[in-house]
A = this chain, B = another copy of it.
Amino acid sequence: MTSKFGEISISTSKRRQIVDITGDVEGFVKGCGVADGICVVFSLHSTTAIVINEGEGGLKEDILRKIEADYPHGAGWHHDRIDDNADAHLAGTALGPSVALIVRKGDLVLGAWQRVLFIELDGPRSGRRVMLMAQG
C-alpha cells in the first residue's frame, strides 16, 4: 500500500468562479500507482470550496447565483471590518474545502455527470493551491 501526494495550482479571473479540475485529479490518480483506495482533494484556502456536481455551463452560473443570494457581500458581517470578504468565508465554511473520493482499478470513481469543481469565492487570485493525497 502506498500514499502519494500531489498539488494543483489554479488562477482565477473573477470574484466568484467555478474551475473544473476533474482532468487534473484524474491525471494525478492515473499516475500515482494506487489501484484501489481513497483520494482526498483539499483546497488550502478559506475563501474557496471543492464540490462535486455536473459541469454544464448553465448549472455553473446557477451555482454562483445561488451562492451570491445565500451569502450576500457586505451584509454587515463582523469579519468585514478586518477583511472585506466575510461572505466568501461563510460560503467556504458551508460548502467545505475537502472531498473524499474513491479510486478503483487505478481510476477515479465518478458518475457520468459528476465533475470535481473548485469554487473561487474571493477572486481574482493567482496561485490558489489544491492538495491531493491518494492512498491504497
Contacts and interface: CB of A to CB of B under 8 A. Distances in A.
A33 interface: no
Contact of A113 (B35, B45, B81, B133): B45
Contact of A111 (B44, B51, B114): B44
Does more than half of chain A's interface fall in helix, strand or loop, or is it mixed? mixed
A3 B97 CA distance: 23
How many A residues are at the interface, by size bracket?
A: 35 or more
A36 interface: yes
A89 B53 contact: yes
A110 to B, nearest CB: 7
Contacts of A46: 52-54, 111, 113-114
How many identical subunits does the complex contain?
Answer: 3
A86 interface: yes
B62 A78 contact: yes
A10 interface: no
B45 A102 contact: no
Contacts of A104: 5, 131, 133
